[in-house]
Amino acid sequence: MSTEPDQARSPAREAAEAGRFRQPPDPRFWRLNRSLPFDWQLAIYDIDQSRAHARGLAAIGVLDSDELTRMESGLERVRERMAEHGFAFADSDEDIHMAIERLLGEEIGSLAGKLHTGRSRNDQVATDVAMVVQNHAITAIELCAATMAELLRLAEEHRDWALPGYTHLQRAQPVYLGHHLLAYFWMLARDVLRFQFALDSASVMPLGSGALAGVNWEIDRDSVADDLGFEHVTHNSIDGASNRDFVLDYLAAGSACTMHLSRLGSEVVIWSSTEFGFCQLDETFSSGSSIMPQKVNPDSAELLRAKSPRVGASYATLLGVMHALPLTYGKDMQEDKEPLFDAIDTVEGCLEMAAGMLEGIRFDRARMEDASGDEMLAATEVADLLVRRGVPFREAHGIVGALVRDAVEQGGKLSDLTPEQLAARSEHLDDSFYEVLERSSWLESKRIAGGTGSGPLTAQIEEARETLAAVRARVLDERS
Ligand code: ARG
């Protein structure tokens, strides 16, 4: 699409040029000023908004009922025309708002000019963007729920499969796979709350703020808000015209959410390596190598890892755009849309792909169990045994450290140490030393709420089920 102005002029430009301006915009200015190449995505929201605004104008007598009917059916025809195959905007359309007004003029003539009564593009664009955020915050919640459902299903299926838990990517303590997977479930549950916050902050309608001071027409804002699905109207026209917090709120939620997915992706990349061999992705979420026929690469997991920073970057971009911006509207704010649209695509794409990737993932029980059978992982268990016998934890830590050194030095395991060797390190060590080295006891000793033991894990799965049911009910409620 060309971004140069052509001979035809947009209605705004024509109106302006008839008065204040004598010259067309310089193409070098026009290329950056023109937002249509990206804000066409606001079209459906702008038409819905315009219909509600027209009804608001009719309710106070600015439009008569015949005019309202013509206006509404004209807007519908514009909607249909834009959806037609081969539809193209005019090069002279500056943005989606001016384009729709021009198209409406082609449908209903000069009556189209009445639509902009009591409205500025400043409150118009803020309202459109708030509608976008509302819609996509709900979508994000819905997609979080789908990924949470997959995690919960996998957690239930693998509730008693042991694997090593890591710190510093070094084997630390064994955990159940169900427990590990649910860690991601709870991250997404917090993301749901973040998207919910973005939804609430976008549910306050700016329309009626005008350019900045309000408008001269006493349109019933509450009924327009109701018509458009907003919960409230803005309290202050200056704030209404200059606020983009709801976009920032969506971007912040999206940044956290994709960051969480990047950690999942990263673990899947590591786990699916030949060295680990803990899991394998389904072919449909993997790629082959163009040169090495044996390879099945975890590209989907790698993309989850790599997509996330673009959302954080969008957040930083818009925060930078809004930073120190004097009230109210500045053209700077036109730069809210590309970061938002890009983030929406990324957030939704990543959530959808994560759910799909998890659907077909397969875990290797033997490989994980083997790795978690490393007796050194039970070092803390031995320390706790000493603590139960009255040894202060710090001292116990030192004794076990020495035992580990003894075992390593003689090239063996902790359980290879003889009772004499144990006695040399502590008078409190007897045969129970060998019992706590049994693997099942390391996992089941974590009986504390939130721990990996089977008892708390069962309770956790129940809590996760309830949380997911509540999120799903919330989505249904928002969509109804
Ligand atoms: N395309 C503009 C934007 O996205 C619409 C608002 C224009 N308002 C103005 N005062 N020039 O921000």
Q: How far apart are CA 132 and CA 44, in angstroms?
A: 10
Is any ligand 1 atom within 6 A of the Cβ of residue 242? no
Share of the chain above pLDDT 70, in %: 96
Tokens of 31: 């290329």
DSSP-derived letter for residue 204 is: E
CB 111 within 8 A of CB 71: yes
CB-based burial, 128-151: b 16+ in 10 Å, e otherwise: bbbbbbbbbbbbbbbbbbbbbbbb
- Residue 268, pLDDT above cutoff 70: yes
Atom of ligand 1 nearest to the CA of 95: 1
Lowest mean pLDDT of 12-26, 77-91, 295-309, 428-442, name the range.
12-26
In this structure, the dihedral spanned by the alpha carbons of residues 454, 455, 460 and 466, taken in order and rounded to 10 degrees, is: 120
Q: For residue 393, report the distance from its CA to the centre of ligand 1, in Å.
A: 65
Tokens of 73: 């059916």
Q: How far apart are CA 34 and CA 91, in angstroms?
A: 9
CA distances from 419 to 156, 377, 403, 432, 439 (A): 41, 20, 12, 11, 20
> In a mutational test of the pocket of ligand 1, which residue from 10, 125, 209, 243 has the highest number of ligand atoms less than 8 Å from its CB?
125
From the list 73, 223, 273, 289, the catalytic residue is 289
Q: How far apart are CA 178 and CA 180, in angstroms?
A: 6
Q: For residue 330, report the distance from its CA to the centre of ligand 1, in Å.
A: 8
Is any ligand 1 atom within 6 A of the Cβ of residue 389? no
ω into residue 127 within 30 of 0, thus cis?
A: no
For ligand 1, atom 2: residue with the closest CA: 334
Query: What is the average pLDDT across 62-80?
Result: 98
Is any ligand 1 atom within 6 A of the Cβ of residue 334? yes
> In a mutational test of the pocket of ligand 1, which residue from 42, 334, 336 has the highest number of ligand atoms less than 8 Å from its CB?
334
Is any ligand 1 atom within 6 A of the Cβ of residue 95? yes
- Residue 234, pLDDT above cutoff 70: yes
Q: For residue 401, report the distance from its CA to the centre of ligand 1, in Å.
A: 67
Is any ligand 1 atom within 6 A of the Cβ of residue 10? no
pLDDT tens digit sequence for 285-337: 998 877 777 778 999 999 999 999 999 999 999 999 999 999 999 999 999 99
* Strand extents, DSSP E, 78-213: 162-167, 170-176, 204-205
Q: How far apart are CA 376 and CA 437, in angstroms?
A: 9
- Write the secondary structure of 1-35 as one string of H (helix), E (strand) and C (coil): CCCCCCCCCCHHHHHHHHHCCCCCCCHHHHHHHCC
For ligand 1, atom 4: residue with the closest CA: 334
Q: How far apart are CA 217 and CA 196, in angstroms?
A: 33
Would you call 245 exposed, middle or buried from its count of C-beta atoms within 10 A (0-12, 13-18, 19+)? middle
Atom of ligand 1 nearest to the CA of 337: 4
Q: For residue 307, report the distance from its CA to the centre of ligand 1, in Å.
A: 30
CB 228 within 8 A of CB 48: yes
CB 389 within 8 A of CB 400: no
344 phi/psi in degrees, rounded to 5:
-60, -50
Model pLDDT, residue 1: 40
Half-sphere exposure (CA, 13 Å, Cβ side) for 406?
A: 19
CB 232 within 8 A of CB 225: yes
Catalytic residue flag (residue 168): yes
Model pLDDT, residue 5: 47
Provide the mean pLDDT of the chain.
94
Query: What is the average pLDDT across 183-190?
Result: 98
SS3 label, residue 164: strand
